[in-house]
Structures are given as C-alpha cells and as structure tokens.
Amino acid sequence: MSTFGARLTQARETFGPLCVGVDPHPGILAAWGLTDDARGLRECALRVIDASAGRVGVIKPQVACFERYGVRGLEALAEVIAAGKAAGLLVIADAKRGDIGSTMEAYAEAWLNPSRDFGADALTVSPYLGFATLQPAVHAAEVYGAGLFVLALTSNAEGQQVQLARDPSGDCVAGGIVRSVQASNASMPGHNGLGSIGLVVGATTAHLAQEHGIDLVAGRPPLLAPGYGAQGATAAGMRRSFGPAWDQVLVNSSRAILSGGPHTSEIVSNIEQARADLR
Ligand SMILES: O=C(O)c1cc(=O)[nH]c(=O)n1[C@@H]1O[C@H](COP(=O)(O)O)[C@@H](O)[C@H]1O
C-alpha cells in the first residue's frame, strides 16, 4: 500500500500544484441553473470532477456544502468522493474535524477508512483541542495509507488571534503545531517525498511563517494553501511567501474555478488558466 505522501508527490509531479475545491454553494447552483437541492449539488460536483480528471491531481470537496442538504446531501458526498477516486483523483475531505482522542478515533475511521462511505485520501483536521488529540487520526493515516492536513496558519485574518499567540517561552502556537507535524512524519516509516501529515497554510497568510521564524521545509510536510483566487492571493505572491517550501504546496481554488460553469468546457478553461498561472 502506498502512502498518501507518495501518491501526492506523484500527483504533483504529473499535474502541478493546483487542487480544485468542490464547494457547491447555493449561489453557484443558481448561477449554473441547477436546483437548490441534493440533485443539483450532485450534478454540480460531478461536473467539477469531470473537468478535473486528467488535468489536476487533487480535489477537495467542502463537506459543509453537502451537509447543509442533510442525509441526501451526505449521500451525494459519498458518491462524489467515490467518483473522484474512480477518476484517478486524490480526494481531500475538507471537514476540519478535531475532538478529544476517543471521538477523534471515530472521525478518523469515518473519513480515512477506504471501506467506509466517506473514505477519502486525506482529511483536514483542527489541532486546537491540543495536537495530541489528533494522535488516533495520525495512526489511522498510517494504517490506511491516508493523509491529514492540520490547520496551522489559516487563510482568514481572525485565525491569527489564536495561531500567533505566544506561550511563556515566546514560541507561537502555529510554530508548535508545525513542529508536531514534523515529528509525526518522522515517526511514520517509508517517507522519502512529501510526508503524509500535512499543514494548512493559507495562500494569504504564508508570509507570516517567514515573519515568525516558522520552518515549513523541515520534514517536507505537504502544505495545503487555500486563498488563491477568490480570497485574493496571487501566484507570484505565493511563490514569494512560501519561498523554499513552494514545491510542497498544493494550491486550492474553489469559487474562482466553479464561477466558470455551468458547462464542463468552461470549468476546464478556468482550470487550465489557473494551471498556467501557477506553472
Ligand atoms: O482547510 C481548508 O481547506 C481551508 C482552510 C483555510 O484556512 N481557509 C480556507 O479557505 N479553507 C477552505 O478552502 C476553500 C477556499 O475556497 P475559495 O476561497 O472559494 O477558493 C473553502 O472550502 C474553505 O473552507
């Protein structure tokens, strides 16, 4: 069984750093002339998968966009995760889960076990109940050859209140999380490309890592960078902010790509434009 880090390394080498975010907001369903229900949602997400397959290596369905439609929305999500994997895409479930260890084990089983309904390649997780609470998810990632993306420096400005807070020794919270992720990767055998435990570092906030002396390169964690496009980050700005960590970066774009619908050819054109911009 290959590790998530190895599959991601391969996908990035083949297709480049773009990850297409599958965020079917009601406004997008309306703009595409789709119904504001689970059927419209499913149709929208499957068109994005169609447009993404063979052009990018990774998609990131945003779980809340499916949850809002209840049970039928979640059934659509299970179908979308399976369709993405069947199309050869790596699927990151963006559910931002985080809880005390015993509950975390259940989340990890739900989202990382490939035989379960929502079994994805990787999951976004929150370390803000304490990084150690994520240990069951780190263990599940190892067992299932899956990955995690741990929120470190999120793309929104409000995150800094927590993430840049300093402990009595002067260390900032995000720096401690980055070091814990490095240690988790080091404890997992057989990684020699990107690690399987990654970090979320916003495209809009990556400059803070340099400014606060946070080393994103050590241990080569993959770096999921949302914020490109709709939140204003540019390709040139990201290259500058990430500096030597750029070849670990997976750049997410959701609304900027989906705004191109409803036709698959228009979504393809937005994907190709973003790929060229990031090259
Ligand atoms: O974990 C994430 O994906 C995430 C973390 C973060 O710091 N900021 C952030 O925007 N995201 C997600 O990335 C996507 C960004 O969407 P767009 O701004 O439309 O490209 C959304 O699904 C967000 O939930």
Confidence category of residue 195, pLDDT binned at 50, 70, 90: very high
d(CA 51, CA 20): 10
End-to-end CA distance of the chain: 30
The mean predicted confidence, pLDDT, of the chain is 97
Tell how far CA 274 is from the center of its chain: 17
170 pLDDT exceeds 80?
Answer: yes
Q: Which domain holds residue 220?
A: 4-278
Task: Look at residue 168 in the predicted model and tell me its pLDDT.
Answer: 85
Burial 185-215 (b: 16+ CB within 10 A, else e): beebeebebbbbbbbbbbbbbbbbbeebebe
**Count of domains for the chain:** 1
Spatial neighbors of 38 by CB under 8 A, at least 6 apart, are: 69, 70, 72, 73, 75, 76
pTM above 0.90, yes or no: yes
d(CA 127, CA 181): 10
Identify the residues whose C-beta falls under 6 Å from ligand 1.
Answer: 21, 23, 62, 94, 96, 124, 154-155, 200, 202, 226, 229-231, 252-256
Listed residue (184, 118, 120) closest to 150, CA to CA: 184
- If you count them, how many residues does the chain have? 279
4 C-alpha to center of ligand 1: Å?
21
With a pLDDT cut of 70, the percent of the chain lying above it is 99
Q: Report the pLDDT averaged over residues 192-221.
A: 96
> For residue range 65-91, what is the model confidence (pLDDT) as tens digits?
999 999 999 999 999 999 999 999 999
Ligand 1 atom 7, closest CA = 154
Q: Report the pLDDT averaged over residues 11-35.
A: 98
Q: Report the pLDDT averaged over residues 12-23.
A: 98
Confidence category of residue 205, pLDDT binned at 50, 70, 90: very high
Which 3 state secondary structure label does DSSP give 61?
A: strand
In terms of C-beta density within 10 A (0-12 exposed, 13-18 middle, 19 or more buried), how is residue 33 classed?
exposed
Indicate which CATH number applies to the domain containing 227.
3.20.20.70
> Out of 25, 96, 179, 212, which one is annotated catalytic?
96
Q: Is residue 96 annotated as a catalytic residue, yes or no?
A: yes
Tell how far CA 267 is from the center of its chain: 20
Name residue, tokens 């369905």: 61
Among 130-134, 142-146, 188-192, where is mean pLDDT lowest?
Answer: 188-192
276 pLDDT exceeds 80?
Answer: yes
Among 82-91, 171-180, 182-191, where is mean pLDDT lowest?
Answer: 182-191
d(CA 126, CA 149): 9
Task: Look at residue 103 in the predicted model and tell me its pLDDT.
Answer: 98
Q: Report the pLDDT averaged over residues 240-256.
A: 98
179 pLDDT exceeds 70?
Answer: yes
Q: Report the pLDDT averaged over residues 33-56.
A: 98
Confidence category of residue 134, pLDDT binned at 50, 70, 90: very high
Task: Look at residue 123 in the predicted model and tell me its pLDDT.
Answer: 99
